[in-house]
Structure 1
Amino acid sequence: MCLLTLFITDIAKNHQVRKKYTIQLGENELVLKELDLLNEGANVYKLIGPVLVKQDLAEANANVSKRIEYISAELKRLDGTLQDLEEKQNSEKDAIFKLQQRIQSFQAGKAKA
């Protein structure tokens, strides 16, 4: 039963991380849309620590696009991990259920004797 609890904990952690990445993906997609609205010569600044640093619009677009690509890949990886954990959890549940049935049938047989 401890293994089943471990799967539940891992699944919950996976959901938390996935939620964080989903929020970041939405924010970055919004930034990309905003960057697309700008004219070619527009000034773009990137916050690095407490300082705003001027950045080329094409570079900013590329950075945000790569970030979106990375986050999407992480979400896909997390989905695969989550599916694997859920399959293992279901397998453990089935094994526990079968074991419980065997115990009950054993006890029923013992009661008849």
Structure 2
Amino acid sequence: MSLTTRLQAASSEYQRLQADLSNVVEARQRLDAQLSENEIVKKEFATLTPNNVVFKLVGRVLVKQDQAEAKGNVDKRLEFINGEIKRIETQLQEIEQRSEKKKMELIELQAELQQPQRQDGPSRSAVSS
């Protein structure tokens, strides 16, 4: 495979990794928003008395829900979101590492590609091995 072809392939792979990184960062931001929202709900639940009524939005309708069930659902959701955040963080680290490796490969390929151009310049000197 020619040097130019390898450079193009590495460049395409680097761009793909950057797009993947962007998608994972967006997913992380969505999870942060969900985490914040559910933590607020959990704090609100902490202020409820047993006499308070809790409703759940189902489509366009508010349906009465048991307080304990609602609190349990929020706790499960928080647990799930925290697990997803950990998974996404691991994925972010892996993509960042692969992206950095690919970036270094690109730099090396570009340097290799420029070397013959330097040797063909006006001050061409004999190289002894």
TM-score of the superposition, structure 1-length normalised?
Answer: 0.92
Residue 54 of structure 2 aligns with an amino acid whose one-letter code is V
With a CA cutoff of 8 Å and minimum separation of 6, indicate the structure with the bigger relative contact order.
2
- Superposition RMSD on alpha carbons, in Å? 1.3
Q: Secondary structure at the match of 1:40?
A: coil
1:37-63 Cα shifts (integer Å, max 9, x gaps)? 001232111111111111111111100
Aligned residues between the structures? 113
Query: Which has the larger helix fraction?
Result: 1
Q: Report the equivalent of 2:109.
A: 99
Q: Aligned to 2:44, which of 29, 34, 37? A: 34
Q: State the distance in 1 between where 2:92 and 2:83 align.
A: 14
Q: Report the equivalent of 2:65.
A: 55
Q: Which runs of 4+ in 1 moved over 3 A?
A: none
Residue 61 of structure 2 aligns with an amino acid whose one-letter code is V
Q: State the distance in 2 between where 1:47 and 1:54 align.
A: 9
Instruction: Map 1:56-95 to 2 at 5 A.
Output: 56-95=66-105
Q: Report the equivalent of 2:14.
A: 4
Q: State the distance in 1 between where 2:51 and 2:66 align.
A: 9
Task: Please identify the structure whose Cα radius of gyration is greater.
Answer: 2
Q: State the distance in 2 between where 1:25 and 1:6 align.
A: 28
Q: Secondary structure at the match of 1:54?
A: strand
Unaligned runs of 5+ in 2: 1-10
Unaligned runs of 5+ in 1: none
Q: State the distance in 2 between where 1:92 and 1:15 align.
A: 19
